[in-house]
Structure 1
């Protein structure tokens, strides 16, 4: 299905590190790359390096005075609460600008590859920092790398870009940056803001021209309900919008083992979403697909396996679910974390879901969430909200 696939990586990406005990531990990305390498997944892609985003590039999505403030914090490590650095979520540290600009630069490198045709698909698994706002750090995110990449493609002449965010947390920063720009369709499927940070992402948040789409799912939602909601909302909108590029954020914190959220997805359900988005990139965006990582705080059993599956899916060589994890990787897990590694690449689930086209059940909270989004959004795109 795929032609050329590029994974952007630099070991310096591990310097995006808020310190011991912080949920966004860089070991999760280190273990992902190690697992993908030992599984042979990286042999199926072109691995390329990157440099940091420049201040001018960051200014495509962020205020220049904010970038200057992050640089000042970076020089000393001293907090600056006015720009959101120095909080429990976003501790200040010396070098924070350099680390954050490199993450943005990696996603920009992926965007350039896709936009220029150097690669059909490109990924930055260290990216997906979707909470950063134009003038403030938020939710473990300093610079909003997906937004910077999208804004750069718009500056190059893109007229329609779709962004699909499957993180358990609402993609609020990307939505905010493009809320009044109908060239960007933002779609976020997330746990309800009534039970999870950042407290936004209701279906009523629709943007200037119905270009912001939010599916707020109830806590406890599992594979069947999540996949039902995804397929009831995402494919019809992408088929109607016909983006030139599909940008996706793959936070895997919707997994049942994640310590910060309340969704109940399995690794196998998440893998199904990767395959669906891959197919939609080919169907609706001419194959141009830029994918990033995102949230995910179960550092050993979830993140490395999930994103290794993502890279393999993008490469067109999916890893069979029952594949054993390599012994060398298991040894690395024990060495780096002291935890017991998973033995294979599956949670042992075979997710199935009833298609929403079969009918709407007003007594089902997931169906109510689906219908709230479809009623708020579909008419503005010439689509019927009814199944």
Structure 2
């Protein structure tokens, strides 16, 4: 019997590494896989090895000149003319500096997301998760925001080109999914939805509720920029109230979702104040919508997340538990403070610079109340009203 859900993974993807001090640390992949294995939730039979993307597949969403620059800057000692022009391609910044073998590993990341998309669209599985992907900030001719190539855009382009399918892209990263939005801003076959902290205060500064798409695609771009210090209830309400009617109107053939988990209160790079609860409830909603509208077809990707010890392994594991129908997700409904596997805690606490939480979900009773909660909730409600103007 085939797996209904597959896990696209290759440990080599952890070599996507800018430098030792950079906040983008793919050790989080290893920690997540280790947690899932110790919880008995990931079997070898569920894992698919990604392939590398071809240059033709990269060229669907990136300019040939940019691909050439990435390849040249991936050399152990790049030629001086490429080093001098790195700024032109966004590859000399503190956020996204070029590194050796950058093209090779990022091509594998793109290939992993295309592998996930092809697995689902071909009918080999209903759902596929590729946590190494979700690099949603890369633009046609520029790297940005820790992202070199845009694997999410490449996977969506693969789906539209090979299957002529209608794709709903859902981005739950705390940073706006700008690269994917601009890739399909005038393509009516792709609807992009992003819920993120308002760009008034956070990179990349885009994602205003007034960004709607253009031409025939007007209305197929929807943004919900939430206020700093938004908490679980307001985040989930904003998410569900906009997406429910959007899906009903757009009628996608497949959902592709990006699961940055940096909207958590412990994430060091943003200001949204959610708990692990949204990372249990949000994928449940996406799965329900995929089952209702897309015959179950759902591709999920990773994304941001910079508390690699306390947040990312739990959030990404919850996503897989929902995707794979693991009994742990039902247990969490009855036992919200269910303990994490003791073996995982003991093994990783020795290396972690912070105390690890010992439960799957957060014990939020001990958290300090957020000031101005009512004002934040009301501002988010108004944003939802504007977002819905061209949806219903």
Q: TM-score, with normalisation over the residues of structure 1?
A: 0.91
- Taking the TM superposition and a 5 Å limit, the aligned residue runs for 1:370-385 are 370-375=384-389, 377-378=390-391, 383=392
Is 2:379 the partner of 1:365?
yes
2:362 to 347, 350, 366: 347
Following superposition, the deviation at residue 50 of structure 1 comes to 1.4
Once residues 88 and 288 of structure 2 are traced to their aligned partners in structure 1, the CA distance between those partners, rounded to angstroms, is 43
Following superposition, the deviation at residue 74 of structure 1 comes to 0.4
Once residues 168 and 11 of structure 2 are traced to their aligned partners in structure 1, the CA distance between those partners, rounded to angstroms, is 29
| Equivalent position of 2:192 in the other structure | 186
Is 2:290 the partner of 1:281?
yes
1:325 to 328, 332, 340: 340
Following superposition, the deviation at residue 291 of structure 1 comes to 0.1
| Equivalent position of 2:370 in the other structure | none
| Equivalent position of 1:354 in the other structure | none
Is 2:4 the partner of 1:4?
yes
Once residues 113 and 85 of structure 1 are traced to their aligned partners in structure 2, the CA distance between those partners, rounded to angstroms, is 32
CA contact 1:77–1:93 (8 Å) conserved in 2: no
CA RMSD of aligned residues (A): 1.9
Following superposition, the deviation at residue 85 of structure 1 comes to 1.0
Once residues 208 and 35 of structure 2 are traced to their aligned partners in structure 1, the CA distance between those partners, rounded to angstroms, is 36
Cα deviation digits, residues 153-189 of structure 1 (max 9, x gap) = 1111223110000110000000000001010000000
| Equivalent position of 1:269 in the other structure | 278
CA contact 1:252–1:296 (8 Å) conserved in 2: yes
The unaligned stretches of length 5 or more in structure 1 are: 351-360
| Equivalent position of 2:246 in the other structure | 237
Cα deviation digits, residues 46-92 of structure 1 (max 9, x gap) = 11101211111111111111111100000135541111112100121
- Taking the TM superposition and a 5 Å limit, the aligned residue runs for 1:49-88 are 49-76=49-76, 78=78, 79=83, 80-88=86-94
| Equivalent position of 1:131 in the other structure | 137
**SS of structure 2 residue aligned to 1:214:** strand
Is 2:37 the partner of 1:37?
yes
CA contact 1:7–1:45 (8 Å) conserved in 2: no
**SS of structure 2 residue aligned to 1:156:** helix
CA contact 2:234–2:377 (8 Å) conserved in 1: no
- Taking the TM superposition and a 5 Å limit, the aligned residue runs for 1:143-292 are 143-208=149-214, 209-292=218-301
Once residues 274 and 89 of structure 2 are traced to their aligned partners in structure 1, the CA distance between those partners, rounded to angstroms, is 34
Once residues 109 and 14 of structure 2 are traced to their aligned partners in structure 1, the CA distance between those partners, rounded to angstroms, is 9
Closer, same or farther in 2 for the Cα pair 1:308/1:64, shift >3 Å?
same
CA contact 2:173–2:259 (8 Å) conserved in 1: yes
CA contact 1:162–1:184 (8 Å) conserved in 2: yes
Is 2:116 the partner of 1:110?
yes
| Equivalent position of 1:94 in the other structure | 100
Once residues 232 and 89 of structure 2 are traced to their aligned partners in structure 1, the CA distance between those partners, rounded to angstroms, is 37
CA contact 1:268–1:348 (8 Å) conserved in 2: no
- Count of residue correspondences: 367
The unaligned stretches of length 5 or more in structure 2 are: 366-374
> Which runs of structure 1 show a deviation greater than 6 angstroms over 4 or more consecutive aligned residues?
none
Cα deviation digits, residues 209-229 of structure 1 (max 9, x gap) = 211110011111100110110
Once residues 25 and 165 of structure 2 are traced to their aligned partners in structure 1, the CA distance between those partners, rounded to angstroms, is 36
